[in-house]
Amino acid sequence: MTPLTRYEGIVRRGRIELSAQAELPEGSHVVVILTGPKSLVDEAAARRKANRWLVESVGNMLAADEGRLVEHEGQPLWRFGAYVTGRGHIPWGPIGHVDVDAQQGDVLHDNSQTEQLIINAKALVSSILSSE
């Protein structure tokens, strides 16, 4: 049995950067274990927060899609696309996105983002309905 060798690094822009240069033999079996910040909010809980914020702050016919864990300015975030929902059609969009702090669980937003989501939603619905 081949002895295990441990390499440490960090994920930046979706790629693993090792702390030290490493040359791995071709065909090596690699296991990646993410340890990151200890108490990350899970994707489902973050999506519920994003959905609540969309309904309460932007409009009741909006929903968040599946989240992606991203890093912004050194901070882990859950990023969700925002979609216009309704009976009789699949979600339309995205009209923008909602970020949730992956450590604290807070929705990160400002008034201009709220206004832009409303503008984007109205424009999308108008363009779809006018083409029907």
Structural contact between residues 80 and 94, judged by C-beta atoms closer than 8 angstroms = no
Structural domains of the chain in order of their starting residue, each with its CATH number: 43-131 (3.10.450)
59-118, pLDDT tens digit by residue?
999 999 999 999 888 888 999 999 999 988 899 999 999 999 998 999 999 999 999 999
CA neighbor of 46 nearest in space, from 74, 67, 63, 62 = 67
> Which pTM was predicted?
0.69
Which residues are paired to 107 by β-bridges? 100
5-40, pLDDT tens digit by residue?
777 777 777 788 887 888 888 888 887 766 665 568
